[in-house]
Structure 1
Amino acid sequence: MQYFAEDFDPQEYDSLTDLSGNENVTLMCHNETKKLIVRKIISGINKELYKQLVHVRHKNLVQVMGLEETTSNCYTYEEYINGETLAEILAKGPIQEEKAVHWIRQLCEAVRLLHEQSPSIIHRDIKPDNIMLSSDGVIKLIDFDASKEFTPNKQRDTQLVGTPNYAAPEQYGFASSDPRTDVYAMGILFHELITGYKPNEINFSYKGRYGKIIQKCIELDPKKRYQSVQELERQLGVHEVTGLIEHIPGFRTGTWWKKEIALGAYIIIAVFMTASVCSEWNLHGNIVKSLAVLGCWVILFVPPYILITNFLRLREKLPLLRSKFIIVKVFGAVLYLLLWLLLFSSTTSIERRL
C-alpha cells in the first residue's frame, strides 16, 4: 500500500544514513535538488491517521509527505528539520518568559490545526522531545505515533499511551482523550520552559505573570481547563497586550523609584514635543508643517531609543545586529546609524520646504 502527496515520489530519493544512530529513522536525499527528508518505521496502527496528515500543511507541523506499507514494515516520509528539540534546549536551562510565550503560541497554531481536522486529531504526546526549533527559529511539532482521531461520546481510551508527567489523567483510562488533553500537556510544557521543571518536580508553584494560565491548563478535571486551544491562545494574547508596559524601559525592573523617574521623563518629552508642534502651529497655522515638525522629533528620538534600550528586544531581531560576530554587529550599527541620519536629514529638509 502506498499513499503519497501529489508532489512527492520516494523513488527520487536515495538513502544516506540512519539518523542519530536510530535504525528506524533513515535520512534520504533527493537525486537532483539534494533536498533532505526522513523515512521512519512506524506502527501500522496509526496508518490511517498518517494518511490524513499527508494533506495537512502548516509551518509549525512537520510535513508528512507519504505513507508506504510493505510486507515487513510501515514507513512514513517526512520533512527533515535542521534544528534542536526543546529537550536539548532545556538541558541548557530554562527559557525567558517572552521567548517561551512566543514558542507556545506557535505550538498553539499547530495543535489548533490538528484539532480542526475532521475528525479531530489529538496529538497526546506533546513534550520537549517531540517539539523542534528549526535553525530559522520556527517551532515544529513532530511524532504522531501516539496520536488518535477523536471519537465523540467515547467513555475512555482503549489504548493507554503518552509520556508520564505530560500525559493528562484521562490518558490513563479515566476518560477519553479530547482537545483538552493536549491543552494539559501544553500547560506542563509551558511551566517547564519558564522554570526548567515540570510542576510535580518542585516544591514551589510558579507565581509569575502566566501562573494562572498554566494552572488552568493543568487542572486534573478537563472541565476546569481551557476547553480549546483557541481559548488558550486568546488568553495568551490578552496577557501580551496587558504586559506590554512591563517592557517599557524604566518599568522593566519593577522598582518603584525607577518607574517614577521614567514616567517623569516620558511626560517631559511628551510636553516638549507637544509644545514644539503647537508653537509651529501658532506661527504659521499650517497643519502639514506642524505634523512635519512632530515627525522630525519622532525620527530624532524613537530609533535611538529603541536600539539603546533594546525595547521589546528589537535589537536582537534586527538583521546584522543579531549576528554572533562582533564585526558584523559593528557594521550593522554603522549602517543603521547612516540610515537614521539620512532619514532625519530628509525629514528636516522636507519640513523646511513647507
Structure 2
Amino acid sequence: MSSYREIDVLDETKPILLVQDTDTRKMYVKKPIPAHNRELYNKLQVFSFSGIPQIHEFCETEEGLFLYEDYISGQTLQTVLNESFNLPEDAAVDIVCQLCDILSPLHRCDPPIIHRDIKPSNILLTPSDHVILIDFDASREFDAGKPEDTVLLGTREYAAPEQYGFGQSDARSDIYALGVLLNKMLTGTYPRYERPAESLGEIITRCTALLPEQRYASVEELKSALISRSSKSLPPCPVRKSHPILAFLLSIAAIMIGSSLSIPTKTSTQHLMQDHICVTLWLLFLVMLLCNIGGISDKLPILRRSTVSGFLFWMLFSGFLAAGLLRLLYLF
C-alpha cells in the first residue's frame, strides 16, 4: 500500500479512493470489498472480462480487504439521468445491448456469475460512449443446489423478486434489472408507474415478469429482441440518409410550385407575394425533412421513432404553421 498515493475521494460512504502508483504513475481505484467475495473477485481478475474494470491487485490490512482496479474516466449513468431525466430511445437501447455483451460471458461462466445490482449508479459511461459495469459487491455465483439466496442483496426497484427470498437468483435476475433500467432511461420512472408503448414496452414487460421462467432466458435473447424490434417498425423512407441531389431537384420543384400558386382574383399583389413566399418556405421545409438535410430528421424525436407517421405529423404541423403565418400577414 505504500506504493500508492491517495489523490481524491470518489465515494465517501464506502469509502472509494482514487490513488496513483508512485512507480508507474498510473491511476487506480482503491475500494474495500467483503471478505466473502474474495474468491469471486479472484475469478473476475483472472478472466479479464471486457466491459468491467481490470483488477490490478488485492491488499489485506487490519482495516479489511481492499482491491486496486483500473481507473476509467467517465460519468455514471445516474449522473446523466439526473441531468436529462431520460434518454433517446436509440441511446437507451444501445446501453442495454452493451450491458448484454458484458453480462454474456459472466453468465456463461461455470458456475455463472450474477451481478444482482444493475442500476444507473453502477454503470459508467466513457467519453467514447462505451459502457462499463462496476461494483460486484452484491454478485454471487449461481448454485443449483440452493433453493434460494442465502444473502439478500440488491437495490429496491431493480432487484428481482427472487432476491427478496422467493427463490435463487440466476441470469434472469440480471435480465429483470435490465428491463427496469431500460424503462428508467426511457420514461424517467419505474415500470410499475409507466411503461413505453409498442415493442419496447412489451420487451420491458417480459423482462420484469414476476416469474423467472416468463422472462427472456438469456441476455443474448434479450439483445436479439432489442435489435429485431426495429425491423418490425415501419420501413424507413428517405429520412435517415441525407440525399443532397434529390433535395436540390425537389427544392426547384418546390420553388416552381410555390411561385405558380393559384389564388382568388380578389387577392392583392402584396398578398399574392406573401402566399407564394409562405407556401414555398413550407414546401422547402418538407424537402429538408424528407431528405434529412443537415440531419434535421434525426433531431426530431417523432421522426426517430416512426419515419412515415413522423413525416406526416411534421407536414401537418408545418402546414398549420404556414397557414397561421399567412393569416397573420393578411392583417397587415
Q: Could you state the TM-score of these two structures normalised by the residue count of structure 2?
A: 0.70
The answer as to whether partners of 1:247 and 1:311 remain within 8 angstroms in 2 is: no
**SS in structure 1 at match of 2:48:** coil
Figure out how many residues of one structure are paired with residues of the other and give that number.
255
Q: Is the 8 A contact 1:26 1:38 kept in 2?
A: yes
Structure 1 segments of 4+ aligned residues over 3 angstroms from their partners:
10-13, 20-23, 240-248, 309-313
Return 5+ residue gaps in structure 2 as ranges: 251-290, 300-332
Three-state SS of the structure 2 residue aligned to 1:151 is: coil
1:11–1:55 CA distance, 2 compared to 1 (3 A): farther
> Is structure 2 residue 58 aligned with structure 1 residue 67?
yes
> Is the CA contact 1:13–1:28 (under 8 Å) kept in the aligned structure 2?
yes
Q: 1:160 aligns with which of 149, 152, 175?
A: 152
Matches for 1:92-131 after TM superposition, within 5 Å:
92=83, 93-131=85-123
Is contact 2:8–2:18 with CA below 8 Å preserved after alignment?
yes
Where 1:28 maps in the other structure, the secondary structure is strand
Contact in 1 for aligned 2:240/2:292 (Cα 8 Å): no
5 Å-filtered alignment, 1:65-214, equals 65-92=56-83, 93-200=85-192, 202=193, 204-214=194-204
Contact 2:11–2:17 at 8 Å: present in 1 too? Answer: no
- Paired amino acid for 1:66: E
Q: Secondary structure at the match of 1:108?
A: helix
Find the aligned partners of 1:240 and 1:161 in 2 and give their Cα distance: 35
Q: 1:23: how far off?
A: 6.3
How far off its partner does 1:88 sit? 1.1
Q: How far does residue 80 in structure 1 lie from its aligned partner after superposition?
A: 1.3
Native 8 Å contact 1:168 1:181 kept in 2: yes
- TM-fit CA distance, 1:30: 2.7
Structure 2: distance between partners of 1:250 and 1:50:
44
Once residues 138 and 130 of structure 1 are traced to their aligned partners in structure 2, the CA distance between those partners, rounded to angstroms, is 14
Q: Deviations over 1:285-310 (max 9, x none)?
A: xxxxxxxxxxxxxxxxxxxx676336
Q: Distance in 1 between matches of 2:64 and 2:4?
A: 18
- In the aligned structure 2, how far is the partner of 1:25 from the partner of 1:214? 33
What SS does structure 2 have at the residue aligned with 1:140?
strand
Structure 1, unaligned runs of 5 or more: 1-9, 252-261, 270-304, 314-354
User: What does 1:203-242 correspond to in 2, within 5 Å?
Assistant: 204-242=194-232
1:288 aligns with none
Secondary structure of the residue aligned to 2:121 is helix
Conserved? CA contact 1:24–1:41, under 8 Å: yes
Instruction: Note closer, same or farther for the CA distance 1:60–1:306 as it changes in structure 2 (3 Å cut).
Output: farther
Are the aligned partners of 1:184 and 1:218 in contact in 2 as well (CA < 8 Å)? yes
Query: Aligned equivalents of 1:17 and 1:250: distance in 2?
Result: 45
What is the deviation of 1:16?
Answer: 2.2
Structure-2 separation of matches of 1:88 and 1:82: 14
> In structure 2, what residue type is equivalent to 1:226?
Y
- Separation in structure 2 between the aligned mates of residue 159 and residue 248 of structure 1, nearest angstrom: 54
Q: Residue 199 of structure 1: SS of its match in structure 2? A: coil
Distance apart, 1:139 and its partner CA: 0.8
Distance 1:243 1:56 in 2: 39
Q: 1:311 to 1:206 in 2, by over 3 A?
A: closer
Counterpart AA for 1:171: Q
Q: Is the 8 A contact 1:51 1:66 kept in 2?
A: no
**Counterpart selection for 1:28 from 19, 23, 31:** 19
Asked whether the 8 Å contact 2:19–2:30 carries over to 1, the reply is: yes
State the SS of the aligned residue for 1:152. Answer: coil
Q: Confirm or deny: 8 A CA contact 1:156 1:170 kept in the other structure.
A: yes
